[in-house]
Amino acid sequence: MTPFKTFLSILSLFVVLGLMAWLYPASGITIADTTFRFPALTDIFEKQDPNAVAEEDNAETDPQKAIEEMMAATQAKELAAFSDSLKFYEDFFKNGRNRFDLPNNDPTWFDRLFLHLELAKIDSNIVHIMHYGDSQLEEDRISSTIREDLQKEFGGGGPGMLPAVLNIPSQTTSVWNNGDLTRFIMFGTEEDRADHNRYGPLAQVSKLQGSAVIGIKKREDKDGKFTHVGGYGTIKVLASRRGNLRVRLAYEATVIENEGTDKEKRKKKFVDAPAPTDEKFNKLRVFTWKLPDTTSNAKVYLSGNAEIYSVSVDGPYGVAVDNVAMRGSSGTVFSRMDKELLAESFKAMNARLIIMEYGGNLVPSINKSNIEYNKNLIAKQIQTIQNANPDADILFIGPADMARQIDGKMKSYPGLLPTIEFLREVALENGAAYWDMYRVMGGEGSMRKWVKQSPPLAGADYIHFSRRGAAYMGELFCNALRMHYDYFKFRDKHKIDDAKLKDIQKLKAETAESAQPAEQVPAAETAPQAEAAQ
């Protein structure tokens, strides 16, 4: 059949069907009990409502609505991607053994400190972190490891604040004195204390009556552990406003003799520093030298009649970590110190983080009857520091595992866990963070393992760390702090502010909620599956 004939056949079929639709009765044709119907032409070519079509088209093609839906979908996808990336940090903040316990479980708690540390280099400023503690810190233990790690990251040099009279040697810095200086300490016996409460930021004071010289020099470091503890570029003397005091600084520098001749020589020699600036507070005088060159050997000459609170030895800028060891102290001395002098000292040193590492000396005497008393006493110390320095954050480090012989075996002190619990509670209640050395070590029985390590990480008294153990504890602390700094940098890189972080957490919660099954299966039915999964 030709195409033309095929076309005529199809056309004839449509004509016949059209005639049937036109002639067929609307009510249909009934034969017996059956009614046959055929659609009318008006049904086939029904006219649509143009308004209804327009509304349907607008609903599907409204550009504003389409853009909003697309943006919402993009944002949800972006938030979901960040949620996956942040999970790594959140898992550590929640379950890491060396994690920090933070007020309100806020992982951004360290942000203010990190911002100050990053700005220090830009502003040529020095940020001090004051590490107070008991005998675990003697010899600059733990603090020296934290200092080295932070100065490597943020810049800085020097050991930080030192007392004019250092009676226990430091493993990083040699400090000696000669002359008319008498030392008094707040944390000692009655015979060790002054007849006043003006102790300064180190909880000790040296009374000058005449003249004296203080020498400060970086110790030789054959292992290269403390490369940043030298490099002094800024030196300060904190003294009383009362009395009269004259100061002079000499430092070791490379001197060129006969420069530009055949006999030119370079040698180390002590030279006088430029005159210091003298900043005066109500109760404090601060003498500051900014050295033209860095050095690792300096001498401070004093003459007159005054109280010397500290000599601070720092780099040109960056971070300083002050080691303030108080043998036998439980950290309850701050509320008995001159509040105004303490506040002025914190301000003069730009102290932005106060670490309080105490509790070990409380453990042997703790019992149910005195926990509340000690809790209130520690709270008072935290509040005293907060009032003296509201711009600083406070981090409390609790005691490590401590063991003694009980029933013929070395076991943790019975008062250890109650002490840790009330210290953590009082810290968090007062807006301070808490770091649990007991948990970090491994909990019950961990001190025995540290003592038996080869070489030992703790001493035979089952209380104090060895130098190696203290360094390891410092590394664990730095690892935990670095997790928070990485978290800070990640959010900064991706512009995740507090509002966006809340959106991510909200999305995560909604996703977790939607993933929950509609009905809970009874525990007895899920047990075999759980065992199989394990």
Q: How far apart are CA 471 and CA 319, in angstroms?
A: 19
Indicate if 210 and 263 belong to the same structural domain: yes
pTM assigned to the model: 0.81
Report the DSSP pairing between strands 318-325 and 126-133. parallel
Question: Is residue 329 domain-resident?
Answer: no
Alpha helices in 442-466 (DSSP H): 446-452
* 293 and 224 co-located in one domain: yes
Q: Which residues of 273-312 are buried (b: 16+ CB within 10 A; e: fewer)?
A: beebeeeebebbbbbebebeebbbbbbbebbbebbbbbbb
CATH of the domain at 119: 3.40.50
- Cβ neighbors of 149 (< 8 A, separation 6 or more) are 474, 475, 478, 482
Domain count of the fold of the chain: 3
**Ramachandran class of 162: left when φ > 0, alpha when ψ lies in -120 to 50, beta otherwise:** beta
Q: Is the pLDDT of residue 240 over 90?
A: yes
Among residues 249, 432, 241, 236, which one has the least CA distance to residue 349? 236
Span 464-474, pLDDT tens digits: 999 999 999 99
| Same domain (yes/no): 473, 423 | yes
The pLDDT of 453-467, averaged and rounded, is 96
Give the model's confidence band at 395: pLDDT under 50 very low, under 70 low, under 90 confident, else very high: very high
Same domain, 387 and 466: yes
Contacts for 251 with CB less than 8 Å, ≥ 6 apart: 232, 235, 270, 271, 273, 291, 295, 297, 298, 299
Range of the domain at 34: 3-45
Confidence grade of residue 534 (pLDDT, cut at 50, 70, 90): very low
Omega before 276 cis (within 30°)? no
pLDDT of 146 reads: 98
Evaluate whether residue 334 is within a structural domain.
no
CA-CA distances (angstroms) from residue 505 to 70, 103, 284, 483, 497? Answer: 21, 18, 48, 19, 12
Rounded-to-integer distance, Cα 392 and Cα 394, Å: 7
Contacts of 38 (CB under 8 A, 6+ apart): 20, 21, 24, 28
Q: Is residue 145 part of a domain?
A: no
Phi, psi (degrees; rounded to nearest 5) at 146: -65, -45
Q: What is the mean pLDDT of residues 250-262?
A: 82
pLDDT average, residue stretch 266-273: 89
Distance CA 57, CA 80 (A): 32
CA dist 39 and 21 (Å) reads 6
Same-domain status, 78 and 167: no
pLDDT per position as a tens digit, 318-353:
999 999 999 999 999 999 999 999 999 999 999 999
Within this chain, do residues 491 and 372 fall inside the same structural domain, yes or no?
Answer: yes
Specify the pLDDT at position 159.
97
- What distances in angstroms separate CA 352 from CA 75, 184, 249, 394, 436, one per listed residue? 37, 26, 27, 9, 21
What is the DSSP code string of 111-170?
HHHHHHHHHHHHHT-EEEEEEEESGGGGGGTTHHHHHHHHHHHH---S-EEE-SS--S--
For residue 422, what pLDDT is reported? 97
Ordered DSSP codes for 376-423: HHHHHHHHHHHHH-TTSEEEEE-----EEEETTEEEE-TTHHHHHHHH
225-259 b/e with 16+ CB inside 10 Å = b? Answer: ebebbbbbbbbbbbbbeeeebebbbbbbbeeeeee
Residue 366 covered by a domain: yes
Per-residue pLDDT tens digits for 407-434: 989 999 999 999 999 999 999 999 999 9
Question: Which structure tokens are listed for 340?
Answer: 């105004």
259, pLDDT greater than 70: yes
* Interval 430-450 mean pLDDT: 97
pLDDT at 263: 72
| Residue 514, token pair as written in the block | 């939607």
Task: Based on the fold, state whether residues 58 and 164 are members of the same structural domain.
Answer: no
Supply angle C-alpha 234, 237, 238, rounded to 5: 125
Is 132 a member of any domain? no
Render pLDDT for 184-236 as a digit per residue (tens, 0 to 9): 999 988 999 999 999 999 999 999 999 999 999 999 988 889 999 999 999 99
Residues ≥6 apart with Cβ < 8 Å to 95: none
pLDDT at position 265, please? 79
Among 305, 127, 281, CA closest to 200: 281
The average pLDDT across 172-182 equals: 97
Q: What one-letter code names the amino acid at 253?
A: A
CATH of residue 209: 2.60.120
**Do residues 259 and 310 share a domain?**
yes
The helix or strand, by DSSP H or E, that contains position 306, with its residue range, turns out to be: strand 297-314
Residue 126 pLDDT > 50, yes or no?
A: yes
Q: What is the DSSP string of 66-91?
A: HHHHHHHHHHHHHHHHHHHHHHHHHH
Residue 333 contacts residue 287 (beta carbons within 8 Å): no
pLDDT value of position 523 = 41
Would 387 be classed as within a structural domain?
yes
Pairing of strands 297-314, 232-240: antiparallel
Distance of alpha carbon 463 from alpha carbon 208, whole angstroms? 37
Tens-place pLDDT, residues 67-99: 555 555 555 555 556 667 788 888 999 999 999
121 and 233 both lie in a single domain: no
What's the pLDDT score for residue 522?
Answer: 45
Domain match, 371 and 449 both: yes
User: Edge-to-edge, what's the strand order for the sheet holding 318-325?
Assistant: 100-101, 433-435, 393-397, 351-357, 126-133, 318-325
Angle in degrees, CA 200, 205, 206, rounded to 5: 145
What is the average pLDDT value for the chain, to the nearest integer?
87
Are 41 and 58 members of one domain? no
Is 529 part of a structural domain of the chain? no
Residue 140 forms part of a structural domain = no
Same domain flag for 187 and 311:
yes
pLDDT at residue 421 in the model: 98
Q: What pLDDT, on the 0 to 100 scale, is given for residue 41?
A: 57
Query: Given this model, what pLDDT does residue 121 score?
Result: 86
